[in-house]
Amino acid sequence: MISESATILIVEDEQDIRELLAYNLEKEGYATVQAADGKEGLDLARSRKPDLILLDLMLPKMDGLAVCRELERDSGTVRIPIIMLTARGEDVDRILGFELGADDYVTKPFSLAVLRARVNAQLRRRTTMWSSRSTSGNCCSASAPSCGARSWWKAIRCSRATGSASIPPPIRSRCSARTSSSRPRNSAS
C-alpha cells in the first residue's frame, strides 16, 4: 500500500457495490468517503480533495462523464486521479472517459484484487510524479506540468491547444532518441 492516510472518494449509486468497495479499501488501510450520485460526488471532491476517485459512469443527478469533465476543469481537482468503474465496456465509452480526464477504466463485474492493484498503481504514480521536483531525465520523476494537467500527455495536449506549455526537455529527448533508434531506415539503392 502507498499511504495509510490516502483518502479515496467512491462515487457509486449502487449501495451494495459502494459499501463493498469501502469495506475492502478500508481493510487495506485507506480512508474512504462515499457519494451516491454525481452531484454529491463532485461536491465532495471539491471540498475534501481526495487522493483518488472511483467514479461510476451511470449516476443520478449528474453522470460520471459530466463529473469527470468538471473535475478536469477545476484547478483544485485536476490532479486527482480518476478510475472509472462502469458496466459500459465499449471502446467508445472507454475512449470518451479517457478524453474527459479518467486515468483508468474498469468494467463491471471486476476483481477486487485487480481493482486494488490499479488503485495502488494510480496512487504510486501520483506520488512519484508530483512529489519529485527533479528533472533528471527520467520522465517519471519530472516536475509537474505548469498547466495543471495530471499527466504529461495531457500537458502536451494542452500545449497544442493553447501554445502555453511545452514538452519538457527530458521527455522530448527520450522520445526522440527512442523513435530515431527504433525505426529501421530504408536505404535507397
pLDDT > 80? residue 117: yes
What is the C-alpha separation between 136 and 122, in angstroms, rounded?
A: 22
State pLDDT tens for residues 121-140: 899 887 765 554 344 444 43
Q: What separation in angstroms does the CA of 138 have from each of 2, 103, 119, 169?
A: 21, 21, 23, 11
- The one-letter code for the residue type at 31 is A
The average pLDDT across 99-123 equals 90
Which residues fall within 8 angstroms of residue 167, CB to CB, at 6 or more apart? 152, 155, 156, 159, 175
Q: Which of 45, 48, 149, 123 is nearest to 131 (CA)?
A: 123
pLDDT > 50? residue 58: yes
State pLDDT tens for residues 5-20: 799 999 999 999 999 9
Cβ atoms 35, 44 nearer than 8 A? yes
